[in-house]
Structure 1
C-alpha cells in the first residue's frame, strides 16, 4: 500500500495564524459575519443552541421534528461557549452517549451501551481510524442514536457521530481566537474566507495547540489546516474541493489501576508506568470533492468523494493489573503502528414528486469504498521479562526494548464495500408522514498475516446484508410531533478491518432498535425532545464452551432506555442546552459473561445542563452541571466508578465594537475528584482538577 509522504505543515499553520491575525485591522471594509448565520444552509439551520434541520439520519434536508429518531446536534455556538476542542467535550452533553478512555490514544464512545471506535463520520463519509478528532473546522456535530445501517452501512449498532465541516459561503468570513488555561495549554485558531468572484469562494480553517495537563508528564501538541474552495460551474452546479492536514501528538494516558474494586486512592496527578515512553501520534491527510447539481423540478444529484491517508503510532507503558494487598502493581508495555488509506465515493439522487395522491421525497444512492490497512505490534520488555511489579506508591517503570513476539500482530487488510440504498419519505396527510428505507451492503475483507510463521494465516470473509428502516411521524399541532420507528444495522467480523481464524467463519452480528418519542416546541425557540427505546445487539460473539479457541454467535446485549433533551432560548437572553438519559444496559443472553450482568461504562442515570445568561452591558455568564451515577468499568461487574457531580462556569464580556469577546471558562469549579470513564478494570481515567481557560476572540 502506498501512503503519500506526510507533509510537515506545522510552520505553515503557525505562519497562517500570525499572518491572518492583523487582517482585523488591515482590512476594515470586511463585514462582520454572524457565525450562526453561516450555518443557515440547506443541510442544517442553527440558531444559537437550537438546530432545526439535519441531513445525517435521512441523507436529505429534513426538519428535525420530522425525523423519527433521536438526533442530538451540538452547534458551533455551544462549542465556542464551552471552549470545547475534542469529541470527549461534545459527548458530555449528548444524552445516551458516554465517552470511553480509548487507552489514551483515540476517540472511543459508548452509544446506547454499545462500545465503538469506528462509528465516526465526516460530512457523511466514514472516518473510522482510531485517532483523536479536533473541532476547529466544524459547523456542528450531529449524533444519531440507534442503529444507522440504512444511511451508514456496517457498524453503527448504537448510533453514529457525524462531523459537519465549514464550507465557503460566498460572503466575508473572519475570526481569530487565542486561549490559555491554567495548565499552560495555549491554543489558537483562525476561520477566514471570502468570494473570489461571482463563481468561486474560499475558506480556510486552521488550529494549533500546545500544553501540559494536571497529570504528571502528560503533554499535548496538535495542529491542523483545512482549506476549501467552491466553484459555481453553472447556475445549477457547484463543486467544492477540500484538503485537511491534521497532526496530533500527545501522551497516551491510561489512568490509574483499581484496588479492592474501586479506583486506587492515589494523587490524581500520579502516572502509572512511564509518561515519557507512552506516546500517541497521528497524521491525517484528506482530500474531498463534492459535486452538487440541481436538475430542477425537485431533483438533485450529489456526489461526495473522500480519500484519507492515516498514519498512527502509539506506545504504552501502563498498569495492567489491580494494586495487590502488598501494594504492588503490574506494569506492561507494547506499541502499535497502523496505516490506513480510505477511499469512498457516495452518489445520492433525491427527487421530490407527487404520486398516488401523496407527496414523495425519494432517495436513491450508491456507495463504493476501499480501505487498505497495515498493523504491526511489538511487545515491551523489562530486561528479559514482559512485565514488572513496582510499588503503587512509586509506580514508574522503564521498558528496555520493544520487539516482536510470537503473538504480536503484523498484517495487511483490504476491505471493499459496495452498497445500494433507497428511501422514500411520504407525506400521507399534512399530519402523517412515513419514512421507509432499505440498504444492501456487500462487504469483503481480505486478511494477510505477515508474521514470521511456518504457516501464516491468510483469511477472507464476504458478507451480504440488508439494513431496513421504517418510521412514522404524527404532527397533531404545528409545535408537536410524535414518532415511532424501527432501524437496524449489521456488524461483520471484519468491521474494524481485522480477522482471525476464530472469527472468519462467523456471520455478522445484528442490531435492532425500537423507539417512540416526541419533538415539542414548548416555546418558539425552545425544543423539548423525548424518546423511549429498546436497542438489541444480537448474535454477539462468545467463546465456545467446548472449545476455548473457537468463537460462536450466541449472546445478546440489550439497552432499554429513556432520553430527554432541551435546547434553545428559554426567554430572550437565556439559552439552555440540557440532556438526561436513563439506561438499563445489560447482557440478556450469555456471551463470555453470564446473563444479567450490566454493560461496563454505562451509568443508569446521567444529566448534563448548560445555561448562558446575558447580564447586560456586554456581560454574560454561564453555569453548567454534569452528573453521572455509578457505573462498572467492565462487564466483569467488579470495579465501580463512583457517582459524581461536576459544576462548570463561565464569564463573558463583549467589547463595545461588537466584534471582540473575552471569555473565562472555569471547569470543575469545586475541584471535585472524580473518575469519568475507563478502558477496563485497571485503566481508570481521572477527572481534571479545577481549570481556568481565558479566550480572546474577534471577528472581522
Structure 2
C-alpha cells in the first residue's frame, strides 16, 4: 500500500491528467498568428551522419543546449550506432569516457560503472529509458534496433531521477513514429554462426496519426564452447496529434532473450591465462535461461502557449527470468578440479511509474528563467525463488578445467530462496535554469523523495519494513566567453537505499553521495569537445560487521576522482571522429577489510578513437564509400573486491567499411578485434571471469524503401 505522501502524489497526477514526461524533445510547436500547430516529425534517414547532438533532454528534462548545461554529457548518436553496426546498447559504450564493464550475471543483462561507481553488485546501477527507470527487475541486454541515441549523463542525476549512482547514468532514447514513410530491412551474418534480421517501418496512418514498428530476431553461436543465444524483439509505437498543441505517444516493447548462462573462466592460483578463452565450465544440458521483458509507455504533451507546456507519462515494465544453470563454486587444492553449484531461478518483477510536470519560460527583469516542477510516483514488486544444491565431497558435481567432460549426472537443486519485495515511492522536484545576459547560466534544482520498502521471506515468514526520506539538491554555473565556448562547475548529491537489516533488525541508512565537477566545453563547425575533472565520495556503503559475522553495517566509504575528455564530430566534410580518454582513481577509503583497495573492474586509464572517412566511390555512380578504423584501450583492473589478482590491460582494433551501392542498398563490413587480442572484459572473482571475443567479421546489408 502507498503511504500518504505517495497517495497524494498519485492523486495529483490523476487530477492533473496525463501529459508526458520523457527525457527527449520529440517535437516543438510553431505558433502562427492565431493558433499553435505541431509540425510533422521529419525522418532523418537521409541526413548527413553526425556524432554530435545540440542537446540531451535527459540532462535537464528540457531542450537547453549542451553548451549551456553545466554538466558533462556524451551523446552516442544514431549515426555513430549505425557506423559501428551496434546491435546492443553495450556495443557503443567504448566511445564514451569513464564507462567500465562490470559483472554481467552470466550474460543475462547489461552492467556498467560510470566514473567507477557501479551500484548494487547483483542488479547493477539504475539505467533510464526515455527518462523512466529502465532496468529495475530483470532486464535482458538492451537491443539497439529501436534506439535513437544513448545519453551518457555524467555526475549525480538524483535531483531529477531519484535513487541512482553519483557517477552518472545512461538514458536510452527510443525511436519515435514519423509523419513521412520510411522502411528498411537489414540482414547480418557474422563469425561464430551469428545471424540477425531487423525491420524498421514508420509512416503516417492519417494526417494526425503515425506508427513505427521495430522488430529484430537473432540466432547466435559464440566464440565460447557450447554457448548460444536467441532473441526476438518487437517494438510498436503510435504518435497522435490532437489539434495544434497536444501530442500523444504510446510505445511498447516485447523482448525475449534465451542464452546458456555462462560465468566465464577461472583463474587457478591467480593464473588468469591458464585456460583458453573458449573454455565453458557449465553444463550444456541445463538448457537456456530465458528472460522475457515487456514495456509500455504512454506520454502526453500539451502546450499551453509559446512559453508553457505540461507533460506527464505512465510506464509499465514487466519481466520474468526462468531456467537452470551450473556455476563454479570452488577449485580443489590441486587447481584442476572445479566443484560446481546447480541452480534453478524463477524470478519476476513489475514496475509501474507515473510522472507529471510543468515547464515554463519567463523573465523577471533582466533574468530569463526556464522553470521545471514535477511529481512522480512508483510501485515496484519482485519475486525471487531459487533452488540450489552445493557440491559435497561425496557428490562434488565437478569438472576438470583442463579436460572438461560434459553430461555428468545432474543433481536436483533444493529450495534456497523465496523472497517477495515491494517498493513504493513518491517525489517532488523543482529546477530553475537562469540566464544572466549572454555570458552566464545558472542551474539549481532539488528533489524530495519518500521511499517505502517491504521484504518478505516466504520460507521463514519474516517480514521487514522501512521508510526512508531523501533530499538531493544540485547546482551548477556556466560562463560563456563566446557562443561556442563554456567553462562550468557543478555540485550535487545522490542517494540509493540499502536493502536488508543489521544485527539489531534495524534498517540501514541509504548510501549518500556528494560529487563535484568542473570543466570546459567547446562546439564549433560540427565538432564538440568536453574536458572535465571530478571528485565523488559515497558513504554508508554496506560492509561486513566486524563484531557480528554474517551481518553487515552501513559504514563503508568509497571515493572516485579523475579527468575525462570526449571529442566528437566532423574534422572535415569527409572525416568524422570520436575520441575519448579517462583517468579514474576509484577506491575504498573506509572499510573493515577493503580500505585502500581499488574498486572492482575499474581501470585507471582507458580510451578510444574512431575515425570514418567518407568519399564518392570510384564505382556505382559515385555513391558514398566509407572507410574507418578504431582502437580501444582498457587499463589494468582489479579482478575481485580484495584485489587478489588483476585483469591485464588490453588494446583492440577494428576496421570497418560501408558502401551505398544504390539509393536503396547499403552494404557494411566490420572486422572487430583485428589482431585477435586475448583480453578479459570483466570479472567478479577468480571463478567468474568474462573473456573477450576474438577476431570476428560481420557483413550487413540494409535495404531502404
Q: Same fold (TM over 0.5)?
A: yes
Contact 2:502 2:553 in 1 (8 A): no
For 2:626, which of 620, 627, 650 is the aligned residue? 620
Instruction: Report SS of the residue matched to 2:379.
Output: strand
Length, aligned pairs only: 652
Contact 1:259 1:322 in 2 (8 A): yes
- CA apart distance, 1:262: 3.4
CA distance in 1, matches of 2:111, 2:464: 27
Contact 1:538 1:556 in 2 (8 A): yes
Instruction: Report SS of the residue matched to 2:550.
Output: strand
Contact 1:314 1:336 in 2 (8 A): yes
- CA apart distance, 1:336: 2.0
Contact 1:381 1:400 in 2 (8 A): no
Partner of 2:26: none
Worse-superposed segment, 337-346 or 95-104:
95-104
Deviations 1:340-381 (A, max 9, x none): 111101112101000143000000011111011111011036
Question: Is 2:130 the counterpart of 1:123?
Answer: yes
For 1:148, which of 145, 157, 170 is the aligned residue? 157
Partner of 2:640: 634
Contact 2:610 2:628 in 1 (8 A): yes
CA distance in 1, matches of 2:152, 2:394: 45
For 1:470, which of 464, 469, 475 is the aligned residue? 475
CA distance in 1, matches of 2:570, 2:294: 39
Partner of 2:20: none
Partner of 2:10: none
TM-score (norm 1): 0.90
After TM superposition, what 4+ stretches of structure 1 lie above 4 angstroms from structure 2?
322-326, 381-387, 396-399, 498-504
Partner of 1:536: 537
CA distance in 1, matches of 2:170, 2:409: 37
Contact 2:638 2:646 in 1 (8 A): yes
CA distance in 1, matches of 2:642, 2:584: 18
Question: 1:473-552 residue pairs with structure 2 within 5 A?
Answer: 473-494=478-499, 504-521=506-523, 523-552=524-553
Distance 1:346 1:259, change over 3 A: same
Partner of 2:594: 594
For 1:114, which of 96, 114, 117 is the aligned residue? 117
- CA apart distance, 1:145: 1.8
Question: 1:205-604 residue pairs with structure 2 within 5 A?
Answer: 205-277=214-286, 279-322=288-331, 324-380=333-389, 387-396=396-405, 398=408, 400-405=410-415, 408-451=416-459, 453=460, 456-494=461-499, 504-521=506-523, 523-591=524-592, 593-604=593-604
Contact 1:335 1:380 in 2 (8 A): no
- CA apart distance, 1:33: 5.0
Instruction: Report SS of the residue matched to 1:594.
Output: coil
Contact 1:383 1:400 in 2 (8 A): no
Unaligned runs of 5+ in 2: 2-41, 618-623
Question: Is 2:674 the counterpart of 1:672?
Answer: no
Instruction: Report SS of the residue matched to 1:89.
Output: helix
CA distance in 2, matches of 1:571, 1:259: 51
Instruction: Report SS of the residue matched to 2:160.
Output: helix
Distance 1:107 1:645, change over 3 A: same
Contact 1:103 1:683 in 2 (8 A): no
CA distance in 2, matches of 1:435, 1:602: 31
Partner of 1:696: 701
Distance 1:310 1:288, change over 3 A: same
Distance 1:323 1:574, change over 3 A: farther
TM-score (norm 2): 0.89
CA distance in 1, matches of 2:395, 2:483: 65
- CA apart distance, 1:89: 1.2
Contact 2:118 2:125 in 1 (8 A): no
CA distance in 1, matches of 2:601, 2:404: 25
Unaligned runs of 5+ in 1: 2-31, 38-45
CA distance in 1, matches of 2:505, 2:316: 29
